[in-house]
């Protein structure tokens, strides 16, 4: 018996879904890295709880590079300076790679 795919309300075990701003695919929040806009620039929100406008990216080079260089600025309604790009790329390079 096929169940309708439409999400129904009131499901207790709902997993929050977020959208990667680079590839636009949705993913459980845990599979994505949150970036947050602050007055000092754009930072990786490792706690996932920093206040401010946030956006999500897959921890994959394709998404990360595309996001940092293109989609992230629009998603956060800001512009990324060279320092922001450097900081975010440095953070990514320190991550364990999932797409090697
Ligand atoms: Zn992605």
**What does the pLDDT look like over 1-53, one tens digit per residue?**
666 666 655 656 788 899 999 999 999 988 899 999 999 999 999 998 999 99
* Fold (topology level) of 17-94: Hypothetical Cytosolic Protein; Chain: A; (3.30.1230)
CA distance 36 to 56: 9
What distance in angstroms lies between residue 57's CA and the mean position of ligand 1's atoms? 6
What distance in angstroms lies between residue 61's CA and the mean position of ligand 1's atoms? 9
**What does the pLDDT look like over 68-85, one tens digit per residue?**
999 999 999 999 999 999
CA distance 85 to 82: 5
> Cβ-count burial of 36 within 10 angstroms (0-12 exposed, 13-18 middle, 19+ buried)?
buried
């Amino acid at each position: 018996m096929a169940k309708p795919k439409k999400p129904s309300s009131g499901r207790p075990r709902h997993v929050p879904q977020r959208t990667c701003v680079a590839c636009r695919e949705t993913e459980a929040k845990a599979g994505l890295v949150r970036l947050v806009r602050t007055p000092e620039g754009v930072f990786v929100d490792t706690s996932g709880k920093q206040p401010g406008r946030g956006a999500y990216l897959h921890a994959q080079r394709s998404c990360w590079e595309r996001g940092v260089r293109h989609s992230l600025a629009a998603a956060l309604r800001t512009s990324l300076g060279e320092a922001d790009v450097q900081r975010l790329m440095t953070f990514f390079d320190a991550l364990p790679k999932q797409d090697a």
